[in-house]
Amino acid sequence: RPVREVLFFPSKPSCTEALLAEAESPDNTPVPCPCPLPRGDCAFSRLLRHLLSARRSLELCLFAFSSPQLGRAVRLLHRRGVRVRVVTDAQYMALKGSQIGLLRHAGIQVRHDQESGFMHHKFAIVDRKMVITGSLNWTTEAIQNNRENILIMEDAEYVQPFLEEFERIWEFYDPL
Amino acid sequence: RPVREVLFFPSKPSCTEALLAEAESPDNTPVPCPCPLPRGDCAFSRLLRHLLSARRSLELCLFAFSSPQLGRAVRLLHRRGVRVRVVTDAQYMALKGSQIGLLRHAGIQVRHDQESGFMHHKFAIVDRKMVITGSLNWTTEAIQNNRENILIMEDAEYVQPFLEEFERIWEFYDPL
Ligand SMILES: [Zn+2]
Ligand SMILES: [Zn+2]
């Protein structure tokens, strides 16, 4: 059965430390996080879990990317050998708190627009078979405070056009 | 077969006058528009067409709504007897060019948030069976200049959660 989920935000505050720590070192028992946030499932933890399911490739096409947890997740996928490619908006990239610098520093390929309009997409493609897309920018503000939606879909009819759009933009933003 | 479309923007400039004029008075031959824009299908005309297919109900949950053509389409649906309900973001609503005042003036029910976060959704539900959702705000700027996506879906698994989200927000923003 293909994944077909709709998630709404704001997400309840919850601790995602165990999720990230386990993904970082699956063989170690994670040290319990001392923070007071409740554990358990929420829209944000479901987003993280789907992202962390990547084994081969991850394409990100994101207007705004400043969530530290999502940044940590993407860097750990890169270290695990997942091929990560990121496209982002030049205007937003320069803002304080953007994760883009950290991704580049980690050796992840990033390309950005040179256009006057915004690169306003907010989608991710996991292993070329799952698309995550919606209104949600990858910022803590949006995750915790805004009314937002994301769809998580494995229907080929929806995934394929996003793959093609990513490749189009990736080529178009080629700096060479 | 359920509708399953993915549209990408920016949309090619194209004249949508015939589409709107025909929807406004289906019995008259529309006067040809004198503008120089090309005719024919584009992402924006497909969005308009799906919207104009509404016969009974239209729910709009939109962060930003300033496109004059989309505003005209929504007002004509209201005149045609479609039950239109609109939820929007209070911060954006006050900006110049917002269509919200015109919708209210036409007698369409509008509710807005009283919250600190943004009401950042951008979705529409047509006849309770088709959802239109994505990154696209309903502004001319976004339609013509930004890289954006919308999904147009009739899968009940995707439509139903958006219907429930709309009703939740509609009740929550009840001014009474
Ligand atoms: Zn914690
Ligand atoms: Zn024209």
Domain ranges in chain B are 4-26+37-172
Distance CA B125, CA B102 (A): 20
Residue of B nearest to A134 (CA): B134
Residue in B120, B135, B141 nearest the CB of A121: B135
Residue-level pLDDT at A39: 87
A151 neighbourhood in chain B, CB within 8 Å = 133, 151, 158
Which residues in chain A are contacts of B115 at CB distance < 8 A? Answer: 147
pLDDT exceeds 80 at position B96: no
- Residues with Cβ < 8 Å from A176, sequence gap 6 or more? none
Q: Looking at chain B, how many residues does it have? A: 176
Q: Which residue has the tokens 């503000």?
A: A141
d(CA A132, CA A50): 9
Q: Quote the pLDDT of residue A123.
A: 98
Residue B108 has pLDDT above 80, yes or no: yes
| Token code pair at residue B169 | 């927000």
- CA nearest to A54, candidates A125, A138, A150, A140: A125
Angle of helix A43-52 relative to helix A68-79, nearest 10 degrees, comes to 20
My answer on whether omega of the bond before A10 falls inside 30° of 0, hence cis, is yes
In a 3-state reduction of DSSP, which class is residue A87?
A: strand
Q: Which of A50, A78, A112, A122 is catalytic?
A: A122
Helix, strand, coil percentages for chain A (3-state, nearest 5): 35, 25, 40
Higher pLDDT, B114 or B56: B56
Better-predicted residue by pLDDT, B94 or B1: B1
Which residues on chain A place their C-beta less than 8 Å from a C-beta of chain B?
4, 6, 8, 10, 63, 113, 115-123, 133-136, 141-142, 144-149, 151, 153, 155, 157-158, 161-162, 165, 169
Average pLDDT of chain B is: 94
Sheet of A83-88, strands arranged across: A4-9, A148-153, A130-134, A122-126, A57-62, A83-88, A109-112
pLDDT tens for B125-137 read 999 999 999 999 9
Reply yes or no on whether B96 is catalytic: no
Assigned architecture for domain B4-26+37-172: 2-Layer Sandwich (3.30)
Q: What is the mean pLDDT of residues B73-85?
A: 98
Higher per-residue pLDDT: A113 or B85 = B85
Please answer whether residues A119 and A113 qualify as being in contact, where contact means their C-beta atoms are separated by less than 8 angstroms: yes
Q: Which of B107, B25, B30, B14 lies closest to B69 in space, CA to CA?
A: B14
- Measure the CA–CA gap between A8 and B85, rounded to whole angstroms: 20
Q: List C-alpha distances in Å: A50 to A26, A45, A169.
A: 16, 9, 24
DSSP symbols for A38-70: --S--HHHHHHHHHHT-SSEEEEEES-B--HHH
Domain covering A4-10+41-172: architecture: 2-Layer Sandwich (3.30)
* Distance from Cα B18 to the centre of ligand 2, integer Å: 8
State the Cα–Cα distance between residues A73 and A40, nearest whole angstrom.
18
Rounded to a whole number, what is the distance in Å from the CA of A25 to chain B's nearest CA? 35
For residue A26, how far is its CA from the centre of ligand 1 (angstroms)? 18
Local confidence band at B31 (pLDDT 50, 70, 90 cut-offs): confident
Per-residue tens of pLDDT for chain A, all 176 residues: 899 999 999 998 899 999 999 999 888 887 889 999 998 899 999 999 999 999 999 999 999 999 999 999 999 999 999 999 999 998 877 777 899 999 999 999 999 988 889 999 999 999 999 999 999 999 999 999 999 999 999 999 999 999 999 999 999 998 87
